Amino acid sequence: VIARHFAYETPRDLGAATAILAAGGAGVAVLGGGTWLVPNMSLGASAPDVVLDTRHLGLQSIEESPDELLIGARVTYEQIKASALVRRHAPLLALMANKITGGLQITGQGTLGGSACYANPSSDVPACLAVLGARLQLASSMGQRDVPAAEFFTAAFVTARRADELLTSIVIPKCASPRAGYYKLKFSTGSWPIVTAACLPLSDGEKPGLRIGIGGACVTPVVFSVDMAAQEAASVEASVAAAATQSIVDEWSDEFAGPGYRRAVAGAIAVRALRACQGAAR
C-alpha cells in the first residue's frame, strides 16, 4: 500500500517525458521496473509528487551498431539473459544477469537502467558497466549527453544524472574476446553482493593484459588493469590480488560486512573472477 497521493504519468515520447522532468525536477521519480522504487514508496522512504512511468518510451530494445551494443534503459535482466547479441558481444553482462538474486519477480521486472540510477554500492551492475567501458545516455529538455560509467557513479547512491534528466540507454563497446569472468561473494544464496569482481581480457592491440572491475567494496566501482606480459600464472594471480587490495580506498560498509572486511577479501574475489575468465569462452 502506498499511503500518499502522487501523480502517475505515462508519456508516449521523450519530449513529453523530459518536459515532465523539467517541470517537476527532484519531485519526479522515474519508474523503471519498480523493484526498488515501489517497495520504498510503500515504506514511505521515497515520496515523489510524480511518478514517471517509462514503459511507453521505447527504451526496451537491445540493438547493435558495428562497434557497440545499445541497450535501452528499461531492458530487464531476463532480456539480457535471453539476448544472443549480449552473449556474443558483452558476455560479462549475461554472466552478471544470471547471478541476480530475487527470482523471476526481480529479474523479469528489474532493469539495467534502474540499477544504474539507483547506484547502490552493493549492486552488481555499476562495476560491470565501468569495466566494460559503457556510456550512459541521458536526455533532458536541454538536449542529450553521454557520460562514461567511470564518471557516472559519483558516490554511494549518487550519480552524475541531474534531476531533470532521464537515462535513455546504455552503450557498450563490443568485446573483442569471447572470454569474461564474474564472481561475487554473498552472505547467503539470496542476499546482495558483498564484493563482486569482473574480469575481461584487454583488447587494445597485442598487449596481453586484463581489466578488472571490483564492485560492492567501495562507494563507487573500481577498475584497474594488470599487465600479463612475461608473467607466470601464479604471479599474474598475485598481481591481480595485490592490485585489487590496493584499489579499495573508499571502502563501503553495511550490515553484511563492516570496515576492513571488503578490503581483506577483494584480492581473493578478483582472483576467482580471473580464473573464471581464463576457463570461460562463449
Ligand X SMILES: Cc1cc2nc3c(=O)[nH]c(=O)nc-3n(C[C@H](O)[C@H](O)[C@H](O)COP(=O)(O)OP(=O)(O)OC[C@H]3O[C@@H](n4cnc5c(N)ncnc54)[C@H](O)[C@@H]3O)c2cc1C
Q: Which residues bind ligand X (CB under 6 A)?
A: 29-37, 54, 73, 100-102, 106, 109-111, 113-115, 117-118, 123-125, 166-167, 192
Residues 278/178, Cβ–Cβ less than 8 Å: no
CB hemisphere CA count around 47 (13 angstroms): 6
Cβ-based nearer residue to ligand X, 38 or 268:
38
Listed residue (148, 118, 101, 127) closest to 30, CA to CA: 118
What is the smallest separation between the CB atom of 48 and ligand X, expressed in angstroms?
A: 8
Cβ-based nearer residue to ligand X, 123 or 247:
123
What is the smallest separation between the CB atom of 167 and ligand X, expressed in angstroms?
A: 4
User: Phi, psi (5° rounding) for residue 96?
Assistant: -65, -45
**Cross-strand pairs, 9:** 52
What is the smallest separation between the CB atom of 196 and ligand X, expressed in angstroms?
A: 9
What is the smallest separation between the CB atom of 1 and ligand X, expressed in angstroms?
A: 17
Listed residue (173, 149, 145) closest to 64, CA to CA: 173
Cβ-based nearer residue to ligand X, 11 or 201:
11
Listed residue (275, 271, 202) closest to 242, CA to CA: 271
What is the smallest separation between the CB atom of 227 and ligand X, expressed in angstroms?
A: 30
Cβ-based nearer residue to ligand X, 6 or 202:
6
What is the smallest separation between the CB atom of 242 and ligand X, expressed in angstroms?
A: 27
Give alpha helix (H) positions in the chain.
Answer: 14-24, 37-43, 77-82, 84-89, 91-98, 104-107, 112-118, 125-131, 149-152, 233-247, 261-279
Cβ-based nearer residue to ligand X, 79 or 123:
123
Cβ-based nearer residue to ligand X, 124 or 237:
124
Name the residue number minimizing CB distance to ligand X. 114
Distance of CA 202 to the CA centre of its chain: 20
